[in-house]
Amino acid sequence: MAFLPFYISRHKQLKIVIVGGGYAGIAALVTFLRYMPDVDITIVDPRSHHLKITHLHETFRYPLQDFLIPFSALERRFGCRHVCAMLSPQEETLRQWQNDKFLVVNGEILEFDYVLVTSGSAVAKMDKAENVFDLDDFMAIPGSKLLSNRLDTSKKDEQFISVIGGGATGIQFLFEIAHFLRRQKIEGKLRLIHGMDRVLNQFTAGFSAYAEARMSDLDIDFHPNTYYYGQEGDSIFLETNGTGQKFSLPSTISLLFLGKKTETLFFTNVFGQVMVERKPLQNIFAAGDCSVYQSLGSDTLTAQSAVRKGKLAARNILRHSGSFKLLEPYLHRDLGYVISLGPADAVGWLALEGNVVGGMPALMIKELVEAQYDLLLTGIDTYLI
């Protein structure tokens, strides 16, 4: 058992319920077991598997199964329990849990010492035609199959594929699709539609310049300052930002990557305890995309931040259960961020956001970060903090 500073166990086996089995939930699970191997953990998640959602764009190269880890396998590996159920608690629900020290799932009473809510962000929803897909569709069908099946059923001689959304997710899918079309020798015209004047506009201009240059190399059409507002048949309907000019373009397939939308946000104190009416719920913590930490730490909706929050919340739950109750503030700052631009290219920043790295160095950083999380899934924690 590893040593955790400011934590002296009271020799009580803790009962922990983790609501959500994404990045934050798994990071918390491994952290709990590192410092208290006999902890009793129940994960409540509506899926049968943990999904490495940040890899979905790679299903144009690899089977979807490569990015799914059954909760049954995690149960065997870590000795935890998975309950397949959807929980969408509100603040009032959390306050009731705090008072009762139990929650009810599928008619079963789950007693707990602490609850950690790690539910992630939902995909932004829009009405979709049958040839319009979003991230939810890629969670069920690999990209290679989804795209091939749709293109095979199209009777058009010239086929157009529209990617809507030039953020990190949209860009990663865009480049994977471009390389997939080339590998499969599929004749299709690829375009990107984005509501801002440059792609990856949440990052420095160096990101945009690098990605847009690679888009030009691959003959990808770019429509900046353009909004998507619908699809009918094989036509996509668009509107120019600023002028309001509406127009349509042919589109055999349209892929929507409009960003994350968190339906319920929980504001926490600097230690990860959920705040309700400006008071912390002592035994209810939150981490991941559903949480907003009132601290100096990173609150970005990324796997990197989710993992760090999950680990910190787990450490603080253990400390809170111990003799001293000296908790650790959340101060994590992202040390870098990398975006894949297909199988052999990437762009990112390292140490400082203005320090843009492209090509093979960025790809190597990405591989190292992903390997670190894969080790965590086996129970090996290589994160320094």
Strand partners, 109: 104
- Residue 80, in any domain of the structure: yes
* Structural contact between residues 223 and 194, judged by C-beta atoms closer than 8 angstroms: yes
Query: What DSSP character marks residue 277?
Result: T
Tens digits of pLDDT across the chain (385 residues): 688 887 888 778 899 999 999 999 999 999 999 999 999 999 999 999 999 999 999 999 999 999 999 999 999 999 999 999 999 899 999 999 999 999 999 999 999 999 999 987 655 566 688 999 999 999 999 999 999 988 876 666 789 999 999 999 999 999 999 999 999 998 889 999 999 999 999 899 999 999 999 999 999 999 999 999 999 999 999 999 988 899 999 999 999 998 766 668 999 999 999 999 999 999 999 999 999 999 989 988 889 999 999 999 999 999 999 988 899 999 998 888 999 999 999 999 988 888 999 999 999 989 988 999 999 999 999 987 6
- Pair (150, 241) in one structural domain: yes
- Pair (27, 71) in one structural domain: yes
332 vs 268: CA distance, rounded Å:
15
- Residue 52, in any domain of the structure: yes
- Pair (317, 340) in one structural domain: no
State the total domains in the chain. Answer: 3
Phi, psi of 213 (to 5 degrees): -65, -40
- Pair (279, 160) in one structural domain: no
- Nearest Cα neighbor of 291 from 118, 62, 107, 44 is 118
Which domain range does residue 350 map to? 335-385
- Residue 2, in any domain of the structure: no
- Residue 7, in any domain of the structure: no
- Pair (320, 353) in one structural domain: no
- Pair (132, 222) in one structural domain: yes
Structure tokens at 165: 């959304």
Domain boundary, last residue among 215, 235, 260:
260
36 vs 13: CA distance, rounded Å:
8
338 vs 353: CA distance, rounded Å:
11
127 Cβ contact list (under 8 Å, min separation 6): 230
Q: What is the pTM of this model?
A: 0.93
